[in-house]
Amino acid sequence: MSTISANNFNSSMFSRADKNEILVKSDKSNYIVMSENKYRSLIETVYLNSIPGMAETIIEGLNTPSNELVDVDWKNEL
C-alpha cells in the first residue's frame, strides 16, 4: 500500500489510480482509497463472516467433491 499526504493526494490522485490501495494521511484522520471492486469484495466478506457458521459452510462446500454435488431446482425451493 502506498502512502501520501492529504495535500498531495488531490494533485496525484489519477496518476495513482493503478495502485491497489492508497493510505492518505492528514492531521485530523487517515483514509484508505481503494477500487470499488475491492471495497465491495471486502464488504461482502465482512457480511458473510458475520453470519454464524457461514465460513464453515463455505469451506465445507469448497471441500465437497464434485461427484457428491446435487442439482437443485431453485424455482421449486423458493
* pTM given for the model: 0.58
For 57-72, b/e burial (b = at least 16 CB within 10 A) is eeeeeeeeeeeeeeee
pLDDT exceeds cutoff 80 at 68 = yes
Which of 53, 39, 6 minimizes the C-alpha distance to 25? 6
Measured distance CA(75)–CA(58) in Å, rounded: 22
23-67 residue pLDDT tens: 888 888 888 888 888 899 999 999 999 999 999 999 999 999 999
- By percentage, how much of the chain surpasses pLDDT 90? 37
